Amino acid sequence: MKLDARLLCVVVALFGVLCCQSVSSVEEVPDTYAGVEVDVTLDPAGMLGAEGKDEAFKSALGDMTVERSNPGEALEFSVTLSKGDAPASFWHDIPAIAQGSLEEEGPLVVNFVPEIQRGQIGKLEIIKDIDGNPVKFDRKDVKDSEGEVLYERPRYVAYGASPFIYGAIPQTWENSLAPDPITNITGDNDPIDALDIGSVVPGVGAAYEAKVLGTLGLIDDEETDWKVILINAMDPEADKYNSIEDVPEETKEMIFTYFRDKPVAVGDAPGKFWPKIDDAYTPDVWFSLEDTKDILSHTKQAYADLIADCSKVEELEFAYAGCKDEGVARLNAAGRKLKLLSASS
């Protein structure tokens, strides 16, 4: 679907993109917001919602605090984490597993970082290559007919508003350098995605504890892209949900349909799912709680192996303070060695 120049300008102005020059020569990039009517009552910066430290949630932040800056300016909007006066990371400084939860037996409770609120269309995510790994809008270059970049704009989901709370589980990584042990297809290079079917909408970045129910195995652009199904541990209905089998069929079909049809809204083929790698909805697309524990275990191990190898972190251009500190230590050691050599000569 094509947007005319006037509608494109309205969309751009509404979400804080400052330059809309030469719109008549801009080629429509249909994977961002095409065909979705703007609802000005929505909160484009993701500022609304209950905080993770409210009684509606059991916070995973500990003594860390969330700060949101530049509300209403999509390209400048940023959600950051800090501990005292020091910066912290949504990806690296929050454990994957909630304190006191046992992975081996019983319910599994994880820490969940909400990125996209239910009812929102903005594509917010943890940014892996910026110090502190803030939550920000993903961006898209707008080009003219000759392929020259005119400006950047924030990305929006063409399919429509998110029907659930979407985010990620920290200290996990879907390994893009090796096949996933279940699908034998490489991962998508991100922390593992998760979604909360609970009723209360949190503030973006207000990490909280959530019960694990199961997993959907999306194969996206020939990459493994697990979607872990959660429910807020403090949700009024949480006690009724202990596995994917407890989730109502209409809710499961809604989740499946969203990931299957979202690419169709921008003219791509429907999403495909493990194990058949097709778009048919069958019961075997859902992974049980026990299977999900295995999935989380290997993505946690992949993360641990990643941050233990600073050359790999550097190769993938990830921002991780531990490797930055190691690099400084290496430089200092090299400087001391050079000083000793100079003194002895």
- Please compute the mean of the pLDDT values over residues 214-223 and round it to a whole number: 96
* Mean pLDDT rounded to a whole number for the chain: 84
Above 50 in pLDDT, residue 18?
Answer: no
* pLDDT surpassing 60 at residue 39: no
> How many Å is the Cα radius of gyration of the chain?
21
Q: Which residues contact 137 (CB under 8 A, 6 or more apart)?
A: 74, 75, 77, 122, 123, 124, 154, 155
277-326: per-residue pLDDT in tens? 999 999 999 999 999 999 999 999 999 999 999 999 999 999 999 998 75
Give per-residue pLDDT as tens, 181-197: 999 999 999 999 999 99
> At residue 140, does pLDDT exceed 50?
yes
CB 75 within 8 A of CB 154: yes
Please give the C-alpha separations between residue 25 and each of 17, 139, 188, 266, in angstroms, as whole numbers. Answer: 17, 20, 33, 20
Q: What is the pLDDT of residue 101?
A: 85
Residue 236's pLDDT band (cuts 50, 70, 90): very high
91-132 per-position pLDDT tens digit: 999 999 999 887 667 789 999 999 999 999 999 999 999 999
State residue 328's pLDDT score: 47
pLDDT at 52: 54
Answer whether residue 42 shows pLDDT above 60. Answer: no
Q: Is the pTM of this model over 0.85?
A: no
- Rounded CA-CA distance 107/300 in Å is 18
Report residue 54's pLDDT band, with 50, 70 and 90 as the boundaries.
low
Asked if residue 4 has pLDDT above 60, the reply is no
pLDDT at residue 58, as a whole number: 96
Q: How confident is the model at residue 22 (pLDDT cuts 50, 70, 90)?
A: very low
The reported pLDDT for the residue numbered 106 is 73
